[in-house]
Amino acid sequence: MTAPLLQAEDLRVAYGKVEALHGVGLRVDPGSIVTVIGPNGAGKTTLLAALMGLLPAQGRVRYAGHDMEGLGTEQRVARGLTLVPERRELFGELSVEDNLRLGAFVRVRRGERGADRQLDDIYRRFPRLQERRQQLAATLSGGERQMLAIGRALMAKPKLLMLDEPSLGLAPRIVRDILHIVAELREAGVAILLVEQNARAALQIADRGYVLETGELALEGSAEELANNPRIVESYLGLHGGPGADAQPTIEGANRP
Spell out the domain ranges in the chain. 1-80+158-257, 89-157
pLDDT at 235 > cutoff 90: no
pLDDT at 238: 63
CATH class of 1-80+158-257: alpha beta
Buried-state track 45-63, b at ≥16 Cβ within 10 A, e below 16? bbbbbbbbbbbebebebbb
End-to-end Cα distance, the chain: 16
pLDDT at 249 > cutoff 50: no
Among 93, 65, 88, CA closest to 2: 65
**Average pLDDT of span 204-220:** 94
pLDDT at 241 > cutoff 70: no
- Work out whether the CA dihedral 184, 144, 201, 192 comes out positive or negative: positive
pLDDT at 112: 80
Contact 161, 185 (CB under 8 A): yes
Q: What is the pLDDT of the chain when averaged over all its residues?
A: 88
Tell me the one-letter amino acid at 244: G
**Average pLDDT of span 86-107:** 90
Neighbour tally for 134: CB within 10 Å: 9
Among 146, 148, 155, CA closest to 133: 148
What is the band of 247 on the pLDDT scale with cuts at 50, 70, 90?
A: very low
**Average pLDDT of span 10-34:** 94
- The string of pLDDT tens digits covering residues 40-63 is 889 999 999 999 999 999 999 999
Among 130, 143, 210, 136, CA closest to 179: 143
Q: How far apart are CA 60 and CA 57, in angstroms?
A: 9
